[in-house]
Amino acid sequence: MSDVKKHAFQAEVQQVLQLVIHSLYSHKEIFLRELISNASDACDKLRFEALAKPELAATDTELRVEIEMDTEARTLTVRDNGIGMSEDEVIENLGTIARSGTKSFLESLSGDAREDAHLIGQFGVGFYSGFIVADRLTVETRRADLSADQGVRWSSDGSGEYEMATIERAERGTSVILHLKEAEGEFLQSWRLQQLITRYSDHIAFPIRVPEAKPAVEESKESEDGEDGEDGKKVETKVESDEITWTTLNHASALWTRPKAEISDEDYQGFYKHIHHGMDEALTWSHNRVEGKQSYTSLLFVPSKAPFDAMWSDRNERKGLKLYIRRVFIMDASEQLLPAYLRFVQGVVDSDDLPLNVSRELLQENKLVSQIRAACTKRSLDLLDKLVIDDAEKFQQFSDSFGNVLKEGMGEDFGNRERIAKLLRFASTKGDGAKQTVSLDQYIERMKGDQTVIYFVTADSYNAAKGSPQIEALKSQDVEVLLLFDRIDEWMVGYLNEYAGKPLRHVAKGEFEGASATDKSDEVSEEHKPLVDKLAELLKERVKEVRPSKRLVDSPACLVLDEHAMAMHMQRLMKEAGHEVPSDLPVLEINPGHPLLQRFAAEGNDEQAADLALLLHEQAVIGEGGQLDDPAAFVQRMNRVLAGSAPAA
C-alpha cells in the first residue's frame, strides 16, 4: 500500500456532511437504499462499457451486490463487482460534489428532516448518508480497466478530511465499509437488512445477496481413551464450513419485464421511488409492451409533485426516461424519448430493436426512436386525460406542480395542441382565489348566451390580474375572465388563438367589443372630444392615442395595446433578460364620467392640468403593474394636486 495522503473536503461537501450527520438521524435507514442504488448504477455502467470492451466483464460475469456483516468488528459492507473507480474518480465523486445541483440542494433544505431526507438521492449525494449510522466510512475500489496494483482506499470520519492510498485489489468494483456507531447494532441483524432491502431495493435489477448462516458439516475421527464412545470407534463432530453461500433477497429482474398480472401497485410504487430517488408516490402510471414491426416496453410514471431540485424545470438540464436496449442500460434522461414539455414524466423504455452502440446523436435521427417518442407522448397524455376523469383531486395536484411545464406544449406540439389545451387550468374571476382550477371547457359551459369569445388578461401577479382596470366592464356584466399571471402565459396564449371554435381575446388589447360581438365601439362623441384632445396634447410623448373606454367602470384610466402587440408585463420581462422589445406606445383609455377626468376637463390652470394629465397616465402605468421612470416626480405631482397648488415657477 502506498503512503496515506490526507485531503480536505470541498466546502459544500462539509455542509452536506453536517446535514446528514446531525439532521437526518430519524430517517437513518435511507443510507442502505442509497448505497445499494449506487452499487446498481456501477453494475449498469460496467455492462454498458463492456459492449465496446468485452474484456472488462470477461471474468466474474454475474453482476451483483453483496452485503456482509461483521458483528465483532461492527462493520457493514456493501460490495459490487461493477465498473469501480480510479483514483481521480474517487476524488471527484467522494471528495467533491462537482454538480451544479449541489447549490440547489443546499438552498432547498427546509429544516424538516422528513422532507430533507428525500433530497439525498435526488442530488446524487447519497453516499454521504452512510455517516448517519457510521462514525467512519472506508471505500476500497478498482476500476475494471485498471490493473490490480491500482486499487484505491478512501477513508473518512466525516470531520472535514479524508485519507487516500493506493492498494492492491484483485477484484474490480467497489466495497463500501461502514464502521457502525455504537447505537446502530440493528444494522448487523439479518432480519433488519432483509426488511429494508425488501422495502426499498426489491426492484434493483441485479441480485442483492447476503451470506447464509455457515452450514455445519459432520467430521469423523478415531476416539481416544478417556473420550466418550468406545475405544477405536469413530465420533461424529460438527464444525462450521469455511465456504460462504449466499441468499438473494430481491427479485433481481427488471420489473418492466415481468407480466403485469404479477406486479402489484405496491411493486410499481416501489420501483418509482427507486428510479426517482424519493419517498413520495406516483400519481399514476402506464406499463405497455409493444410488439410488431418493432418491439419495446415502456413504463411511464406521472409524479405527484415537482422534485426539490430547482433544476428539474430547466430545459437544458433534462431529466426523464431511462433508455435500455435488451435490458442493457444505455443512458439516463434520454430527451429523445419524450418532448421537453413532458420532461416531468419518469420511467423506462426498453427496446429490442435499437443498436446497442446507439448515441444521443444517432437517437435524434433514428426512425424507431421517433415512433417510440410518438407512442410515449400519446400514453403520457392518455394518463393525464384518465386522471381528469378518475380523480380530479389528483389531477389538480399534478396541475399545481407541472401545469406551467405542460403549457410549453402549446408551442411545441402542434399535433396535440387541442389535447394539451384541454388539460390546462387557469385562475379566473369566478375561480377559487389564485388557485388555477378552471378548464377551458368549464369556461365555455359558463359563457353568457350572447358571448362569442373567451376573455383573458395577463399580468405580473394574481392580484394585479384580478385588480386590472381593463376587466371592470366584464366583471360588472358578470362575464368570466381568465387571470393569467405566470411568466409563460403570454407566450403560451400566442399559440392558443382559439379553443373549441371560440377565439381567445386579451382584454387589454385592441378595440373592446364587450361581451357581445355586435357591441362595437363608437366614434368619439362631440361631448368628449375636447377632453380627449386636451389630454392627448399633454401626453403626446407618452401615449399613441387617447380615447373613451368601454372597459372601465370604476377606474379613471387604463393602458391598452394593439391587438398583436406584446403585453407590457412581458415587455418588462424581456428587458430584464437583456432583450430588445418593440417601442410602440400604448393607448390611454379614459372614463370620462370619473371625477378626476371631470376635474381635469374643468381645470383652467395649464400647469395644474398638466399635473393631472401626467398623474392619470402614471396611475394607469401603476395599475397595469409597471414601474415609473421617475417616482420622485410622481410623488411631487401627487402632493401638488392634493394641496391644490401649481408647480413652482
Q: Of 407, 434, 449, which one is at a domain's C-terminal end?
A: 407
Identify the pLDDT of residue 312: 47
| Cell numbers given for 147 | 490493473
Residue type, 225: D
Backbone angles phi, psi at 510, to 5 degrees: 70, -175
Between 547 and 33, name the one with better pLDDT.
547
Identify the pLDDT of residue 520: 41
Element (H, E) at 195: helix 190-200
Identify the pLDDT of residue 648: 60
Chain position carrying cell 470407534: 233
Cα distance between residue 117 and residue 27, in whole Å: 7
> For the chain, what is the mean pLDDT?
85
Identify the pLDDT of residue 336: 85
Q: Of 407, 439, 466, which one is at a domain's C-terminal end?
A: 407
Summarised one tens digit per residue, pLDDT across range 274-285 is: 888 777 899 999
Cα distance between residue 172 and residue 166, in whole Å: 14
199 within some domain: yes
Chain position carrying cell 485498471: 146
Angle at 116 between CA 114 and CA 118, to 5 degrees: 80
Cα distance between residue 605 and residue 640, in whole Å: 13
Cα distance between residue 227 and residue 322, in whole Å: 67
416 within some domain: no
**pLDDT tier, 43 (very low <50, low <70, confident <90, very high otherwise):** very high
- Helix, strand and coil content of the chain, in percent to the nearest 5, comes to 40, 20, 40
Residues 271 and 368 in one domain: yes
166 within some domain: yes
Cα distance between residue 7 and residue 160, in whole Å: 9
Q: What percent of the chain has pLDDT over 70?
A: 84
| Cell numbers given for 644 | 391644490
Domain at 609, CATH number: 1.20.120.790
Cα distance between residue 266 and residue 261, in whole Å: 13
Summarised one tens digit per residue, pLDDT across range 101-120 is: 444 555 555 555 444 444 44
CA-wise closest residue to 455 among 525, 514, 539: 514
Residues 361 and 458 in one domain: no
| Residues 469, 588 contacting (CB under 8 angstroms) | no
Residues 129 and 39 in one domain: yes
Summarised one tens digit per residue, pLDDT across range 425-436 is: 999 999 888 899
Identify the pLDDT of residue 311: 38
Average pLDDT estimate for 429-453: 92
Between 335 and 121, name the one with better pLDDT.
335
Residues 329 and 397 in one domain: yes
Identify the pLDDT of residue 310: 37
Residues 72 and 147 in one domain: yes
Average pLDDT estimate for 549-568: 88
Residues 514 and 547 in one domain: no
Q: What percent of the chain has pLDDT over 90?
A: 54
**pLDDT tier, 567 (very low <50, low <70, confident <90, very high otherwise):** confident
Identify the pLDDT of residue 526: 82
Average pLDDT estimate for 564-586: 77
Residues 272 and 371 in one domain: yes
Question: Against a cut of 0.85, is the pTM above it?
Answer: no
Between 596 and 583, name the one with better pLDDT.
596
Domain at 56, CATH number: 3.30.565.10
- The C-alpha R_g of the chain, in whole angstroms, comes to 34
| Residues 504, 542 contacting (CB under 8 angstroms) | no
**pLDDT tier, 306 (very low <50, low <70, confident <90, very high otherwise):** confident
Residues 13 and 162 in one domain: yes
Please state whether beta strands 557-560 and 587-590 pair in parallel, antiparallel, or not at all (unpaired): antiparallel
Number of compact structural domains in the chain: 4
417 within some domain: no
223 within some domain: no
183 within some domain: yes
Cα distance between residue 98 and residue 91, in whole Å: 10
Please report the beta strands in 19-92, taking only residues with DSSP state E, as ranges in sequence order.
65-70, 75-80
- CB-side exposure of 394: number of CA atoms within 13 Å? 17
Q: Is the pLDDT of residue 618 over 60?
A: yes
Identify the pLDDT of residue 442: 96
Identify the pLDDT of residue 99: 45
Residues 286 and 385 in one domain: yes
Identify the pLDDT of residue 315: 54
Angle at 542 between CA 541 and CA 548, to 5 degrees: 115
Residues 515 and 394 in one domain: no
Summarised one tens digit per residue, pLDDT across range 175-219 is: 999 999 999 999 999 899 988 988 878 878 899 999 886 655 555
CA 58 to chain centre: 39
Strand order, beta sheet including 328-331: 282-290, 296-303, 346-351, 321-325, 328-331
Domain at 370, CATH number: 3.30.230.80
Average pLDDT estimate for 25-37: 81
Angle between helices 529-538 and 595-602 (to 10 degrees): 80
Residue type, 392: A
Domain range for 495: 425-520
Summarised one tens digit per residue, pLDDT across range 374-385 is: 999 999 999 999
Residues 510 and 621 in one domain: no
Cα distance between residue 339 and residue 343, in whole Å: 7
Residue type, 352: D
Average pLDDT estimate for 347-365: 81
Q: Is the pLDDT of residue 329 over 90?
A: no
Between 568 and 410, name the one with better pLDDT.
410
Identify the pLDDT of residue 218: 59
| Residues 599, 612 contacting (CB under 8 angstroms) | yes
485 within some domain: yes
Q: Is the pLDDT of residue 100 over 50?
A: no
Q: Of 360, 377, 407, which one is at a domain's C-terminal end?
A: 407
Domain at 439, CATH number: 3.40.50.11260
Q: Is the pLDDT of residue 242 over 50?
A: yes
Average pLDDT estimate for 600-626: 91
Residues 377 and 436 in one domain: no
Identify the pLDDT of residue 265: 95
Identify the pLDDT of residue 98: 40
Summarised one tens digit per residue, pLDDT across range 479-521 is: 999 999 998 998 899 899 999 999 999 999 888 866 543 344 4
Identify the pLDDT of residue 354: 85
Contacts of 588 (CB under 8 A, 6+ apart): 535, 539, 542, 543, 545, 546, 547, 557, 558, 559, 616, 617, 620
| Residues 484, 458 contacting (CB under 8 angstroms) | yes
CA 235 to chain centre: 69
451 within some domain: yes
